[in-house]
Structure 1
Amino acid sequence: MSEETTAIFLPESQPDLPADRFLDRELSWLDFNKRVLDLAEDESVPLLERINYLSIFASNLDEFFMVRVASLKRRIATGIAVMSASGLSPQEVLSQISERTLELQKRHANLYTQTLGPALAAHGIQIEHWASLSDAEKNGLRDYFISQVFPVLTPLAVDPAHPFPYISGLSLNLAVVLRNPNSKAEHFARVKVPPLLPRYVKVSGSESRFVPLEDVMGQHLTELFPGMEVLQHHTFRVTRNEDLEVDEDEGENLLIQLEKELLRRRFGPPVRLEVAQDIDPQVLSLLQRELDIEPSDVYHLPEPLDLKSMSAFAFLPIPELHYEAHPKTTNRYLESDPDEAADIFASLREREVLVHHPYESFATSVQAFLEQAAADPQVLAIKQTLYRTSGDSPIVDALIDAAEAGKQVLALVEIKARFDEQNNIGWARKLEAAGVHVVYGIVGLKTHCKLSLVIRQEGSNLRRYCHIGTGNYNPKTARFYEDFGLLTSRTNVGEDLTKLFNQLSGHTAAPDYRSLLVSPNGVRDGLTERIRREIANHQAGKSARIRFKMNSLVDEQIIDELYRASMAGVSVEILVRGMCALRPGVPGLSDHIRVHSVLGRYLEHSRIFAFDNAGDPDVFIGSADMMHRNLDRRVEALVKIAQTDQIRQLHEIFDLGMSESVAVWELKANGGWSRETHNVVGEKLLDMQDVLMEKTLARKRLR
């Protein structure tokens, strides 16, 4: 099922608001990736962290083309594309994407070749070219090629008996031009750089000098084509449409249908062709013709292509080239004596616990909560949503242990989680084999909410223990994704989760909730109602303020509600990591709205929605971003935060993110982003994530 369809909201339906009030979402995404590139260019960032940002930029761009650009092209080709809310036609958006991407990719490539590559070499990490090697080193690499690379390669020639080969998406390839010495006829061949071999090959006798694998292959092509003359070779790379189209209304089992669609994904049409800067025009013409790709989708770049592969160096254990490590810590209310495990259920009977990852450990909070539930003989049932999890998931292991111990275990596995579909199919089958009740949610909706419900026998009563989070149940990403989670035994929350799980597994009618906002419909309606209440409070002279933190803000209805709040004089503060289609600071429209973005060592992923509510704060955390898909086509859940100290902690995030003492990006009315790293007297601004780590440790000391 495609992630996005035509917008359900038309800006012209609001004649009292200006028509040009929305920024384009696709171009806003490119601005987000530009902010990642800004970090790679920032000289104050440690070198290997800059290399990591360089790799992240490339990985992000790959996914953007595989999904967003591919979807836009498909809609243009089928005639269903409509004018975007920004007022740009689909063709105009595509043209601007091409123009901006070319500029960003060249800037990205030049950053590596002119700055980061030499900086690595200055620290002893040298990526060499073949010509700079000694004869002995070349001989050593020849031995490596013959023994380790040559047996894996499959040369594919193109001639009347051999059609142009299929080029897999994101693979790195050599385009080779050959000549038959007898007939003098020239031929084209393609050789794929094996993705399972190390992209950078160590030079013999050195631990810190490397040669790109494609360079080694290029120097030994005569071994692959004996009797032929190798005239030239060039690297190239194709990005394909890898979005999925699954019709859930068909009678076929969803899991089987999705597996078939995953096989078809590999053969999606090309949407981008990256080629070496010096590629021969005739070779390029052949690639364009055979791949059926437009000149505007061709990106000429300096080698090496695919800088995502630089992640191979980003995690080298050289402490002085990384950020100073943050200490690992357990939430102060979940700590235990060194010789015994914490009794999380006892802790939750005393108070609710708000955990903030990765500042506070996922393993000693959420993971421990589920592992303890699986092992506790008084626990009768566990209900769990799984959207993404790790390859060796202790969460899945805990659910299996619980089922094998005779507990009732329900796992709602979202098998349509993009690019994790195959993994989730595997987990679904593994869970089913262990006796877990596995369901796939509601037809037509992705289940994106992050929920755990544990039912425990305590005397003659049953008590519900819950976790509602902003991030996935993935111990690996929890080390670098910034997320909040609420652990609670609050009665209202437990009753609400029971209703929600029953709806997801039993397809009951949508119930009423007391502590949750649940989409579809409920999150949009609940936030809209609260925005309007802030307007009414302000007009009545009461305290009013709106603060949102999320990954993306592109839903036009929510944006218009925020515009109206600003027009009424309500202060609106927004922290957004990625896309933002709202224009702040427009006179008469958004004078009272400020939009900041925080990027850093951790991926800002939490969603917080806070309203002053005339001095009685109304604050929610949860899984929903402000996008059409989250509000209308997904099951999302926000939970109300009840404890005063936790509300204060969440407001600290906004206080920092809006502070002039912290380095952030600020969105301007024209759609541009600006960033200051030093104050007016030249002092370096604070890193928000470092400050939050310090505050986390300070809270522990104060307990």
Structure 2
Amino acid sequence: MPADPTVLDVGLDGDEEDFDPAFERNDPALPEHRYLDRELSWLAFNQRVLELAEDPALPVLERANFLAIFASNLDEFFMVRVAGLKRRILTGLAVPTNVGNAPADVLSEISQQAHVLQERHARAWHDLVRPDLAERGVTVVTWDSLDAADREYLSEYFSNQVFPVLMPLAVDPAHPFPYISGLSLNLAVRVRNTRTGREEFARLKVPQMMPRFVRVGPAERRSASLDTAPSVRYIALEEVIANHLGHLFPGMEIVDHHVFRVTRNEDMVIEEDETENLIQALEKELLRRRFGPPIRLEITDDMDDVTLGLLVRELDITEQEVYRLPSPLDLGGLFSLAGIDRPDLQYPKRVPTTALQFQPDEPNGKPDLFRSIAREDVLVHHPYESFATSVQAFIEQAAADPHVLAIKQTLYRTSGDSPIVEALIDAAEAGKQVLALVEIKARFDEQNNISWARKLEKAGVHVVYGLVGLKTHCKLALVVRQERGVLRHYSHIGTGNYNPKTSRIYEDLGLFTADDQVGKDLTRLFNELSGYAIEKKFKRLLVAPRHLRKGLLKHIEQERTNAEEGKPSGIRIKVNSMVDESIIDALYRASQAGVPVDLWVRGICALKPGQPGMSETIRVRSILGRYLEHSRIFSFHNDGDPHVFIGSADMMHRNLDRRVEALVRLTDPKHLEATAAMFEQALDEQTSSWWLDADGVWTRHAVDADGRPLTDLQDSLMLETAARRRPRNRR
């Protein structure tokens, strides 16, 4: 499971959800090979993450964090995407590739690029980040560099804290090769019986619940580069264990030891149509996932052929799936170092502001969110504007308000101790009607979601699990409030999860509105999700899987028609992933008609921009940084009457065809101006970003011709938001 929330929602899922074998590329006006491969595009995305780690202009602990994000991202890529591809090849299913390669070639090219990236990742740690940390007083040491006092300190730590939880497992005729859990760090140990001379093999698992990097002694030294900051030293836990193997194998000679790590197939397939109880089926599949076949073996570069041969044979791993790297393996462990309390080595602290509309009318007063939303639609932008004083406060006020009769909400990823969950429980216990649509199939959050879904049920919340065969990914909340004898709807439609933790690092948008039409749309949508209603049309929403694709294609086609008629036209789209062939082809046709198309894509992009005769008017940009760009925006010029939507959907098969997604149209001129300004800043050549060329190569533009850093969009937006002032005497 990924170790950090920043790696969630990176556009990974089982390939059965992202490949439509019925799709036919039969448009004679477009060339056959017009897509970039989605898997290689994902690797290019993770390379952009790595480039942030390599950037000396960034604070060094943040660079360590990006190294950890890269590692965790790649783990998930292998567990899901590579595993899914391998399964399809072994079972003879169609392989989802946009470039028409043979199945074996797909995995071969992925493996080749992944090897290059992992080696580059290791070099970035050893040659760039680790030395820079050391210069600033944060040193990761080796056992050989320690003096006697340090070794004595660590030996005591090993005896008291580590040794009691270790479990060496021998491999011999009486002890079969043990199960190696996915993503665990292990020591392969060869020992020799001093009486018989016979060599044996043992496996030792590094405890995952213990700190990966162990503090070496007290912090008494001072950094040479920063006199006010104490220097600290750390050593990898596996190195401490490796230098105390004699305690684990007394009477045996330690011949050799090496570190290795296995990644397993954690791609899940649940046949919902054939099960009566989805939770039971999911729990069974979660158990099976623990024992998925190995798909990657990482070893230290000093491993001998005898040990490697044993691992390859017992794990049934191919040579292509072996990754030989310098120690330490699993740089995802750097998440712990990135959390060191050294503000001088981290991004400056930024405190989100409360949206102007949600600030109290009087100093020290308590804001009334319902009155603010009734006055005007409110568009909030996280993390620049606070989640706690907007979304969380909205649900908490609804739970406590005696005039609120009902709360309905979708929950995709959150946490059991979330204030949102607690507020829903409070509302149910207060006698309100509460509906929580919990998506228990949210990848890698399945067990957590099952746990707190049951907690909600025990409190009297009506918990439903969505529609058979579809994930419910939309981010919706509806509050029904009685005002002067009339029921009024208060709605929230967002682009991100109802998760207070990720809201601090994910960039997202959310619309609050008391618009009656939106409220009626959400009422009908919730009825469809919880009951047997089948809605065929919504007024201000575009809803997948029935209407969203058709609605977007209609808007793209309208821009193409306007361009052909000589009218102003333009398309701007911000998404995490751009993969869907029909959407891409529609954008190609719009470009052929002369429509300016700007795509702001964080992750995967299968579209080829700037191709003569096909996509000459299309630009693709990507922005990565302190916050994870996560909002989705769809903007169409519409001959001067802009149609702008925000919501939860990416341009992928799974989002458009196999998920419940929702986009809401923005109507307030101020909101249209705000989203337009975001695009203007992001696409400005003076803004730091990556540009995609016609060959599928992403090039970073971070400095100008004179070497001066370009504008950081996220810093700029944070400063602009913090500088906003509420008009005085507002009523």
**TM-score between the two structures when normalised by the length of structure 1:** 0.98
Q: For structure 1, list consecutive stretches of 5 or more residues without a partner in the other structure.
A: none
> Cα deviations across residues 85-134 of structure 1 (Å, max 9, x unaligned)?
22222211111111111111111101111121111111111111111111
User: In 2, distance between residues paired with 1:642 and 1:608?
Assistant: 14
The answer to whether the 8 Å contact 1:354/1:486 transfers is yes
Give the aligned partner of residue 119 of structure 1: 132
The answer to whether the 8 Å contact 2:598/2:620 transfers is yes
Alignment partner of 1:384 out of 390, 409, 417: 409
The answer to whether the 8 Å contact 1:549/1:575 transfers is yes
Q: Per-residue deviation at 1:2?
A: 4.0
Give the aligned partner of residue 200 of structure 2: 187
Given the alignment of the two structures, is residue 257 of structure 1 paired with residue 288 of structure 2, yes or no? no
C-alpha spacing 1:541/1:700, structure 2 compared with 1 (3 Å): farther
User: In 2, distance between residues paired with 1:251 and 1:132?
Assistant: 58
Alignment partner of 2:549 out of 524, 527, 542: 524
Give the aligned partner of residue 333 of structure 2: 309
C-alpha spacing 1:391/1:128, structure 2 compared with 1 (3 Å): farther
Letter in 1 for 2:29: D
Letter in 2 for 1:4: E
Letter in 1 for 2:557: R
User: In 2, distance between residues paired with 1:96 and 1:702?
Assistant: 58
Given the alignment of the two structures, is residue 214 of structure 1 paired with residue 238 of structure 2, yes or no? yes
The answer to whether the 8 Å contact 2:275/2:281 transfers is no
Letter in 1 for 2:533: T
Given the alignment of the two structures, is residue 43 of structure 1 paired with residue 68 of structure 2, yes or no? no
Give the aligned partner of residue 469 of structure 1: 494
2:272 match: secondary structure? coil
Q: Per-residue deviation at 1:541?
A: 2.0
Q: Per-residue deviation at 1:390?
A: 2.6
> Cα deviations across residues 371-394 of structure 1 (Å, max 9, x unaligned)?
000000000000000000134200
User: In 2, distance between residues paired with 1:56 and 1:334?
Assistant: 34
Alignment partner of 1:94 out of 107, 117, 120: 107
Alignment of 1:480-491 (within 5 A): 480-491=505-516
User: In 2, distance between residues paired with 1:606 and 1:416?
Assistant: 21
Give the aligned partner of residue 634 of structure 2: 609
The answer to whether the 8 Å contact 1:83/1:89 transfers is no
User: In 1, distance between residues paired with 2:104 and 2:599?
Assistant: 30
The answer to whether the 8 Å contact 1:9/1:557 transfers is no
Give the aligned partner of residue 674 of structure 2: 649
Give the aligned partner of residue 91 of structure 2: 78
C-alpha spacing 1:19/1:267, structure 2 compared with 1 (3 Å): same
Alignment of 1:402-421 (within 5 A): 402-421=427-446
Given the alignment of the two structures, is residue 231 of structure 1 paired with residue 286 of structure 2, yes or no? no
The answer to whether the 8 Å contact 2:15/2:85 transfers is no
Q: Per-residue deviation at 1:238?
A: 0.3
Give the aligned partner of residue 560 of structure 2: 535
User: In 2, distance between residues paired with 1:302 and 1:391?
Assistant: 39
Give the aligned partner of residue 301 of structure 2: 277
User: In 2, distance between residues paired with 1:358 and 1:700?
Assistant: 18
User: In 2, distance between residues paired with 1:452 and 1:320?
Assistant: 40
1:474 match: secondary structure? coil
Q: Per-residue deviation at 1:599?
A: 0.3
Letter in 2 for 1:383: K
Letter in 2 for 1:99: Q
Alignment partner of 1:24 out of 37, 45, 67: 37
2:282 match: secondary structure? helix
> Cα deviations across residues 256-294 of structure 1 (Å, max 9, x unaligned)?
110111111110000100000010111001000000010
User: In 1, distance between residues paired with 2:271 and 2:650?
Assistant: 24
Alignment partner of 1:4 out of 13, 16, 22: 16
Q: For structure 2, list consecutive stretches of 5 or more residues without a partner in the other structure.
A: 1-12, 221-231
The answer to whether the 8 Å contact 1:238/1:274 transfers is yes
> Cα deviations across residues 293-318 of structure 1 (Å, max 9, x unaligned)?
10000000000000000111112222
The answer to whether the 8 Å contact 1:11/1:85 transfers is no
Letter in 1 for 2:277: N
User: In 2, distance between residues paired with 1:455 and 1:65?
Assistant: 44
1:164 match: secondary structure? coil
User: In 1, distance between residues paired with 2:160 and 2:349?
Assistant: 40
> Cα deviations across residues 486-533 of structure 1 (Å, max 9, x unaligned)?
000001100000000000000211231000000003110000000001
User: In 1, distance between residues paired with 2:597 and 2:573?
Assistant: 8
User: In 1, distance between residues paired with 2:570 and 2:470?
Assistant: 32
The answer to whether the 8 Å contact 2:467/2:529 transfers is yes
2:491 match: secondary structure? strand
Percent of matched pairs sharing the same residue: 60
Given the alignment of the two structures, is residue 298 of structure 1 paired with residue 310 of structure 2, yes or no? no
> Cα deviations across residues 213-270 of structure 1 (Å, max 9, x unaligned)?
1111111111111111110000000000111111101233101110111111110000
User: In 1, distance between residues paired with 2:550 and 2:367?
Assistant: 39
Give the aligned partner of residue 556 of structure 1: 581
> Cα deviations across residues 27-64 of structure 1 (Å, max 9, x unaligned)?
00000000000100111111111111111000100000
Give the aligned partner of residue 14 of structure 1: 27
User: In 2, distance between residues paired with 1:642 and 1:189?
Assistant: 66
Bigger drift between 4-13 and 290-299 goes to 4-13
2:238 match: secondary structure? helix
Letter in 2 for 1:445: L
Letter in 2 for 1:56: I
The answer to whether the 8 Å contact 1:547/1:609 transfers is yes
Q: Per-residue deviation at 1:350?
A: 0.5
> Cα deviations across residues 146-172 of structure 1 (Å, max 9, x unaligned)?
111111000000000000000000000
User: In 2, distance between residues paired with 1:623 and 1:574?
Assistant: 16
Bigger drift between 607-616 and 653-662 goes to 653-662
2:405 match: secondary structure? strand
Letter in 1 for 2:512: L
Alignment partner of 1:247 out of 267, 271, 281: 271
The answer to whether the 8 Å contact 2:369/2:394 transfers is yes
Letter in 2 for 1:225: F
> Cα deviations across residues 332-379 of structure 1 (Å, max 9, x unaligned)?
110014433210000011100000000000000000000000000000
Letter in 1 for 2:236: P
Give the number of equivalent residue pairs.
703
The answer to whether the 8 Å contact 1:10/1:85 transfers is no
The answer to whether the 8 Å contact 1:27/1:93 transfers is no
Alignment of 1:360-379 (within 5 A): 360-379=385-404
Q: Per-residue deviation at 1:702?
A: 6.3
1:365 match: secondary structure? helix
Alignment of 1:155-194 (within 5 A): 155-194=168-207
C-alpha spacing 1:702/1:598, structure 2 compared with 1 (3 Å): farther
